[in-house]
Structure 1
Amino acid sequence: MTDRKAELARNLAKVEERIATACAAAGRKREEVTLIVVTKTYPASDVRILSELGVRDVAENRDQDAAPKARECADLPLTWHFVGQLQTNKVRSVVGYAGLVQSVDRPKLVSALSAAAVAAEREVGCLVQVALDAEVGGRGARAGVAPDGIEELARLVDEAPGLRLDGLMTVAPLTGPYAGRQQAAFEQLMEFSTHLRAAHPAANMVSAGMSADLEQAVAAGATHVRVGSAVLGVRPRLG
């Protein structure tokens, strides 16, 4: 085993223990929570190692980095999640490799994703990104639609050819009433999920929590956690 593989194996084991412990504390089964490893800024060689170690879900937030990495790892049994702010001019590329886009936050993006998915003859899963720091009718500092826009955006995704409404995603806000209150933020997202599932029963995915707050996300009921640095290490500086 290479040094890097041994390092990633140790880190994965620690994260796995954290998730299992959080599930036990919340009275949940471990299989209720899926780990998505955020591989942004790390090379395809790390993605390959992660696959060897049993990881099946990876996430990226910049298409210019993700697209070549996904091509290099096309032989691996992975589901790629796109989790960053997505410009419409990048949609065609992203639809080429991403099984899920977790950052759907405006009607124009839904239209672009639908057209690209139909052209590629693919079905792309979509999560509505909710901004808990957004004013009514606005968007959040870290992207996302305000809570009052969830229902309409979900309807647009559900009706769009080539797209599948899978659920909701959020990033713990840095400002507003939920700043520094990650568990409260995630519990609010779960309330929104409950309302969403009343109209769209299959949209049961709730993506919340990262390296620093995965325990709070699991306690709140998240089905997916997005973990980067706790698995891969401190990210190299870009630039």
Structure 2
Amino acid sequence: MGETDCRRRQLEENLDRVEARIDRACSSAGRPRSEVRLIVVTKTYPASDVRLLAELGVRDVAENRDQEASAKHAECADLGLRWHFVGQLQTNKARSVASYADRVHSVDRSRLVTALSGAAERAGREIGVLLQVALDAPSGPVGERGGARPDQVPRLADQVVEASSLRLEGVMAVAPLEGEYAGRPAEAFAQLSEISTTLRTRHPAATMVSAGMSADLEEAVAAGATHVRIGSAVLGVRPHLG
């Protein structure tokens, strides 16, 4: 068996295990499996893996660094995938990201909304936006993973709705490393679910809740996540980056 065939089998087995975890989590939460979509985070892995994942039925892939994402998208543009940008985004990268991302999960400040809206309009595209919520910062400084404080979400949501070429789709969060919810992903994601519910009273179409990674997808599904972002459980443990 060749190297490509071995890698394909490895990815297929890993995908099967992740899908089984999502199935069990949905069953435990009393939710239909169709309510939760898998996004495979392919950062640090080659375009050849993206192609294999597409062959295995994956339709949603995510990246967190623009330079890698733009190159990989160009190599895989023929696959018809949905590309999600999930990393912290600098405003000077908005033009590039707007050229390929179907959704940006990490919108967390007014200047980024303005930059992304202008870039999407110039590119002739409409981009889905999720507001990243910093669950480690209910009122104080935001941690290293970024995000808007919960009390900033309503104003930011209104700005996205008013912006041209952007579509408000929901909220995103990462289980926090600091603050009240550090080490307590179930409670953190429950808080995100409350924020999502409040957001939908004003913006009913913003139904997406992007939460949960390889270590905590079960807690995220139990709290109502609609999209889980899974990397290492599918692709393997990532190499340390220099």
Give the TM-score normalised by the residue count of structure 1.
0.98
> 1:190 is matched with which residue?
193
1:85 aligns with 2:88: yes
Count of residue pairs brought into register by the alignment: 239
The residue correspondences of 1:173-188 to structure 2 (distance < 5 A) are 173-188=176-191
Structure 1 residue 237, shift from structure 2 partner: 1.7
> 1:140 is matched with which residue?
143
Q: Is residue 209–residue 217 contact of structure 1 (8 Å, CA) maintained in 2?
A: yes
**Following TM superposition, where does structure 1 have runs of at least 4 consecutive aligned residues deviating by more than 3 angstroms?**
none
Structure 1 residue 77, shift from structure 2 partner: 1.8
1:15 to 7, 18, 29: 18
Aligned CA-pair RMSD? 0.9
1:121 aligns with 2:124: yes
2:64 to 61, 65, 89: 61
> 1:222 is matched with which residue?
225
* Closer, same or farther: CA 191–135 of 1 in aligned 2, 3 Å: closer
* % identical aligned pairs: 67
State how far apart, in whole Å, the 1-side matches of 2:43 and 2:77 are.
17
1:111 aligns with 2:114: yes
Unaligned stretches of 5+ residues in structure 1: none
Structure 2 residue matching 1:186: 3-state secondary structure: helix
State how far apart, in whole Å, the 2-side matches of 1:127 and 1:34 are.
15
Unaligned stretches of 5+ residues in structure 2: none
Give the TM-score normalised by the residue count of structure 2.
0.97
2:197 maps to a residue whose letter is T
> 2:97 is matched with which residue?
94
Q: Is residue 143–residue 178 contact of structure 2 (8 Å, CA) maintained in 1?
A: no
> 1:44 is matched with which residue?
47
1:77 maps to a residue whose letter is G
1:207 aligns with 2:210: yes
Structure 2 residue matching 1:2: 3-state secondary structure: helix
